[in-house]
Amino acid sequence: MAETAVSPDPELLRALRALANPMRLQVLSWLREPKRHFPPEEAIADPVEVGVCVSHIQAKSGLAQSTVSAYMAELERAGLVRATRVGKWTHYKRDEQRIAELVAVLGNTL
């Protein structure tokens, strides 16, 4: 007896597309341990509590600011990071709860 095909969760697909880019995956990895990967003395906010400034992500990646902003927006749309404004700067932090939920969905899907 044939099983009917089930459409994959659109949120899972969005996250997988965001993670398919090696640099976006690298940035998400860096954000897992922000104090290890970004100089805390240059931070204007706590990188663990608030997140890492997009300018620091740009400096570490070596990419253009516009590219980094586009990559971070894609990760945010996928629910993998959250953005917080501190003055005129945008800071990004991993959304650990959402990442755990996506890992669980992926585990149940495959």
Q: What is the CA radius of gyration of the chain?
A: 16
The verdict on residue 3 lying in a domain is: no
pLDDT digits (tens, 9 = 90+) for 84-98: 999 999 999 999 999
pTM beyond 0.85, yes or no: yes
The verdict on residue 87 lying in a domain is: yes
Q: DSSP letter at 41? A: G
**Distance of alpha carbon 77 from alpha carbon 67, whole angstroms:** 15
Domain carrying residue 19: 10-109
**Distance of alpha carbon 110 from alpha carbon 98, whole angstroms:** 18
**Distance of alpha carbon 24 from alpha carbon 83, whole angstroms:** 15
- Which candidate, 62, 16, 56, places its Cα nearest to that of 38? 56
The verdict on residue 2 lying in a domain is: no
The verdict on residue 1 lying in a domain is: no
The verdict on residue 19 lying in a domain is: yes
Q: Total domain count for the chain?
A: 1
pLDDT digits (tens, 9 = 90+) for 13-56: 899 999 999 999 999 999 999 999 998 777 788 888 899 999 99
Q: First CA to last CA across the chain, in angstroms?
A: 20
The verdict on residue 86 lying in a domain is: yes
Q: Which CATH number covers residue 50?
A: 1.10.10.10
